[in-house]
């Protein structure tokens, strides 16, 4: 992830060369053209640019979406899931975070992303240490500070699922190993089987 210091300008198109530009959230939201080989976040008013998610992140994310949508369409309590989307921007103080997956639950209607805060935000950890710190520390503080009910961090390197919860939910931090199945009262009857997602990530690791 690049954050080279740059003088202030307002680009019409975002690409790798824009890393480090100082922007306001409104300026960031106004940009409509992007180099699709990269992903963009506005962190404390500074544009950061990083590669798009690796296959070992994107494929498990897609599988999680499949499981969520299957739950919604087939489980007796699946109506608890309103919607789930991948790669969505989340407004945070003086910035925009790009979440790997957002989940709305319990509204009983189609969410309005401009108004309705996601109930759950999911991040798949990337390899660089700075990305690890971002997913476990920075985003945890920002997402829970917004009022997100749960923040899931799926880590294929540590082979864990960490769930951060907003009080009064207990425990506020839960770490599950690869053999665990996670269940949340926000999605009654849904089961996140971590081993399944890790096995998909491992297929891409074996290929390389």
pLDDT in tens, 117-127: 999 999 999 87
Q: What is the mean pLDDT of residues 157-176?
A: 94
pLDDT in tens, 35-45: 999 999 999 99
Q: What integer best gives the mean pLDDT of the chain?
A: 91
SS3 of residue 63 by DSSP: helix
- What is the 8-class DSSP label of residue 150? E
Taken in order 69, 53, 181, 188, the sign of the CA dihedral is negative
Q: What is the pLDDT of residue 5?
A: 43
Q: What is the pLDDT of residue 173?
A: 95
- 17 touches 3 (CB < 8 A): no
Q: What is the mean pLDDT of residues 67-93?
A: 97
Q: At residue 3, does pLDDT exceed 50?
A: no
pLDDT band of 11, cuts 50, 70, 90: confident
Question: What are the structural domain ranges in the chain?
Answer: 13-51, 55-207
pLDDT in tens, 93-111: 989 999 999 999 999 999 9
CB neighbour list of residue 76: distance below 8 Å, 6 or more residues apart? 189
Q: CATH for 55-207? A: 3.90.1570.10
pLDDT band of 128, cuts 50, 70, 90: low
Q: At residue 168, does pLDDT exceed 50?
A: yes
Q: At residue 6, does pLDDT exceed 50?
A: no
pTM: 0.89
- 90 touches 41 (CB < 8 A): no
**How far apart are alpha carbons 45 and 183 in whole angstroms?**
36
């Amino acid at each position: 992830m690049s954050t080279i210091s740059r003088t202030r300008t307002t680009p019409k198109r975002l690409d790798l060369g824009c890393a480090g530009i100082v922007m306001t959230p409104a300026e960031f939201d106004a940009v409509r053209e992007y180099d699709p080989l990269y992903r963009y976040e506005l962190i404390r008013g500074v544009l950061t640019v990083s590669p798009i998610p690796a296959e070992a992140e994107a494929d498990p994310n897609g599988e999680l979406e499949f499981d969520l949508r299957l739950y919604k369409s087939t489980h007796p309590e699946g109506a608890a899931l309103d919607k789930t989307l991948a790669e969505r921007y989340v407004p945070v103080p003086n910035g925009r975070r790009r979440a790997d997956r957002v989940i709305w639950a319990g509204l009983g209607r189609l969410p309005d992303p401009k108004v309705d805060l996601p109930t759950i935000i999911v991040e798949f950890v990337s390899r660089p240490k700075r990305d690890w710190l971002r997913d476990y520390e920075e985003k945890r503080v920002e997402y829970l500070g917004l009022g997100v009910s749960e923040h899931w961090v799926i880590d294929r390197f540590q082979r864990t699922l960490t769930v951060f919860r907003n009080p009064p939910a207990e425990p506020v931090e839960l770490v599950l190993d690869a053999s665990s199945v996670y269940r949340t009262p926000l999605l009654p009857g849904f089961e996140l089987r971590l081993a399944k997602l890790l096995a998909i990530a491992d297929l891409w690791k074996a290929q390389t």
